[in-house]
Structure 1
Amino acid sequence: MTSEPSPDAGPTARAADLRVAGEWLALHDLADARPTPLLASRLTVRAYARLAAQVLLAALIIVSSLAAAFGGLPPHHPLPLLALAALVAGLLLAQWLLDRWVRRVDQRAGATLSRRAAHLIQPGWRAVLGRPYAAFAAATFAGAMVLAGSALAIPDPTVRQRAVVLLIGLLGVMAITALQLRHLLRHPVVAEDEESLTADVIMRVEDARELTTPSVQWSLPMVVLFGAVPGWLSAAAVAYLILGVGAYVALRVKTPSCATVARRVMSLR
């Protein structure tokens, strides 16, 4: 097979999308597979969904920093905290709507398939995320919560206000991540042959690793606490960031690639 676009590419699959799909296949050791309209459509929607999710998390960081800045000014009004909590609820709703949009697009794409791949699989969390990434995500969240709890124990109203802001932000991130992971695990497989089935698993593994990248968990303690808390706690926040980045780099280097994980999952069918 060649890496040229499939001859049955319809008008909905633009040439640029097919080219991107071909590059994605080559990047994941599937250069012999042909980029199809199905794959091009799924990758395009996935890219938009990723961008939207990143915007949601950026909004959380910005509003958290504003809540920490204005909430710490005397008198300590609860309005910034209420606004942050309302934002978290809104972000959860937005993420749910985003996941539903992706599901609907995939369902429409799947409905156009002339045939379905035999022996479809629904990978579990161990296959999609893996124990190392799950342990890393849990440890990162626990470390951030320890920082928030330490700040909450300091008898200073301003520091405690910032600690509550950090707690709300972290719980919001955890809820959004759990919602995204649930979507990845329960999202129906869309595949017409062995190659598209492998691509489906690769996308799930890739997305799971992407959503466990703790960019917000690293950013929030620095934005909310650093410089406004005692020196030892600021130093702890910096150490948490450095250790987290080091562990993440080691994890990415040591763990198998998404394509390798997908092939292992396929071999167990």
Structure 2
Amino acid sequence: MPKEPVRDANLAEARAWLAGHGLADAEPTPLLATRLAARRRKRVAAAALLAVFICAVALVYVTTLPLDPAVDGLGPDRRRALLVVTAMVIGLVLAQSLLDRWVRRVDQRAGATLPRRAAHPLRPGWRAVLGVPYAAFTAGTFAGAAALAIAALTVQDASARYSAVVLLLGLCGAAASTLAQLHHVLTHPVVADDEVSLNADVIMRTDDAREVAVPTMVWTLPVVSVFTAPLGNWHLAWMVFIAASAVALVLVNTWTTRRGRAARHERPVT
């Protein structure tokens, strides 16, 4: 048992989580409730962190827009702004890493109270945890966003190029944060003491990885810089890209969910 008492609300959350993942017959344990509560708090903190980052990038971008539309070019103010955005990207990655380390410490404290530890014969790899469809979707989304941003660097309009540079810096931060979080999920130690908690650990790891794969920042960053740029075709391309990637995510999620349900139904009862 964890050293601190587990709230009834956390146990109810664990019970609902088990039912939602086809483990309704399993009893919610303090271990599972503690781990789920930590992940819920992390999601809230990560969402707040992302919102602060987007607002900060937007503020830096807006303050460097020229008052006179005829003024063009990458002046000293914009160069300093790019350095500020780079620093914010580094801060975002570091803050996200601290959140992941906090979740790891919570799991370690919870696992230290177990009388014995269970483990997988082989550590689940990225194919089993994230899955090829989600990995392909995430890689394709980042590649498409980067291609659109790089294409804007070839135009003559300096404001559009500046918007593209800001976007590329944000995309680099998003990619680094995504890779760091996926590495954390894949290398996170197993916290389980029986077959049920071992299955729950795999499902929780899969949920964490697929949540990381959702390109929220990729969809949000264009609102900061792209839609203030003067290129109409660029706007249209971004809107089509965001809509197409959102539809692709729904299709991937639907396909993997149906496949997972079918696999659970086909699993022999022991």
Q: Which TM-score applies when normalising by structure 2?
A: 0.89
Q: CA RMSD in A?
A: 2.3
- Which aligned pairs between 1:239-254 and structure 2 lie closer than 5 A? 239-254=240-255
Distance 2:11 2:236 in 1: 48
Structure 1 residues 53 and 29, CA gap change in structure 2 (3 angstroms): same
1:152–1:159 Cα contact (<8 Å) kept: yes
Distance 1:223 1:163 in 2: 11
Map of 2:14 onto structure 1: 21
Identity of aligned residues (%): 51
Map of 1:51 onto structure 2: 44
Aligned residue type for 2:154: A
Structure 1 residues 228 and 168, CA gap change in structure 2 (3 angstroms): same
SS of aligned partner of 1:226: helix
Distance 2:172 2:34 in 1: 33
Map of 1:128 onto structure 2: 129
Residues 214-263 of structure 1: CA deviation (Å, up to 9, x unaligned): 12111212331114231111110111111111111111111236965996
What stretches of structure 1 of length at least 5 have no aligned partner?
Answer: 1-7
2:105 corresponds to 1:104: yes
Aligned residue type for 2:127: R
Q: Once the 2 structures are TM-superposed, how far is the Cα of residue 133 of structure 1 from its aligned partner? A: 0.5
Aligned residue type for 2:144: G
Residues 151-183 of structure 1: CA deviation (Å, up to 9, x unaligned): 211112211111110000000000000010000
- Which aligned pairs between 1:73-92 and structure 2 lie closer than 5 A? 73=66, 75=75, 77=77, 78-92=79-93
- Which aligned pairs between 1:65-76 and structure 2 lie closer than 5 A? 65-73=58-66, 75=75
Q: Once the 2 structures are TM-superposed, how far is the Cα of residue 72 of structure 1 from its aligned partner? A: 3.1
Q: Which TM-score applies when normalising by structure 1?
A: 0.89
Moved more, 167-176 or 116-125: 116-125
Residues 175-194 of structure 1: CA deviation (Å, up to 9, x unaligned): 00001000000000000111
- Which aligned pairs between 1:1-269 and structure 2 lie closer than 5 A? 11-73=4-66, 75=75, 77=77, 78-117=79-118, 119=120, 121-256=122-257, 260=261
1:65–1:224 Cα contact (<8 Å) kept: yes
Distance 1:48 1:13 in 2: 15
Distance 2:262 2:135 in 1: 15
Distance 1:216 1:163 in 2: 15
- Give aligned pairs, total: 259
Aligned residue type for 2:38: V
What stretches of structure 2 of length at least 5 have no aligned partner?
Answer: none
